[in-house]
Amino acid sequence: MSTVLRVDIRDRLAVLTLDRPGRLNAIGSDTARRLTEALNDVRDDDDVRAVVLTGAGQAFSAGADLGEIESFSAPGQFRAFVGRLTDVYALLAAFPKPSVAAVHGFAFGGGLELALACDLRVAERGARLGLPEMKLGVLPGAGGTQRLPRLLPTAIAKQMILTGEPIDAERAWQLGLVNELAEPGGVLAAAEKLAAGLTAGAPLALAAGKRLIDYGLGMDLETAIAYERETVSVLFATEDREEGLKAFRERRPGEFRGR
């Protein structure tokens, strides 16, 4: 029986693999529950500094589990289902440790919404990314209509959402939705390499940097800069700041402990 989600911890990385290849890694309630548990475990593990999300088999994820959705007999059941996905994606987006999505094959619907909740994205050449819900008479319901326009030009995001048509990885990279392109078969290695670069940073500064960017985008510039000033002042008092300066003077990598 599939474990739905596999967790592999190595080299300061937690690699979370959607593990329903026979269903193209469709995301259902069980996946949302396991992903929530895994993220909570990883958050408390000081040996893990970054997260990589990928999918087993031919694709990252085909999206929400339509089989589970078709079993619902009342709107409230669907609302609760969407809430489970929305909650775990919000947990990932606000996670104090940086995350990288490794996309191959395709990331559609709830699968793309999962990738959008990550901080960075690496995609295999030829992969397709899209929100096809319009073709089913609905709309993305787990953050897609809100996160995509924050990562793409508004007109492009509207086109993807309102037509349901996907774009390929090369186009996504040109638009800035994807940070790096990988050759076929190499997306996980490329994502792990990108994530490994993040693990070299000081944990408190990484978490603060995520907050500054994400929260600051919702503030006016003056307020955001004041928020930045206060945050940096707090970081100045940490042990990691002292270690960083010492390492710089000694011309060596810093040995940060998140203190």
Helices (H), the chain: 29-43, 66-70, 75-93, 110-117, 144-151, 154-163, 169-175, 187-199, 203-216, 221-236, 239-249
Given the residues 37, 124, 133, 250, select the one marked as catalytic: 133
At 232, list the tokens: 């940096």
At 117, list the tokens: 């909740």
Exposure pattern of 188-202 as b/e (b: 16+ CB <10 Å)? bebbbebbbebbebb
* Sheet of 13-19, strand order: 4-10, 13-19, 50-55, 99-103, 120-124, 180-182
Given the residues 37, 70, 113, 242, select the one marked as catalytic: 113
Active site residue 37: no
User: Would you say 7 and 48 are in contact if contact means Cβ atoms under 8 Å apart?
Assistant: no
Active site residue 113: yes
Residue 88, φ and ψ in degrees, nearest 5: -75, -30
Contacts of 57 (CB under 8 A, 6+ apart): 21, 22, 24, 25, 105
Tally of CB atoms within 10 A around 230: 8
- Tokens 């990562």 sit on residue: 151
Q: What residues are annotated to the active site?
A: 113, 133
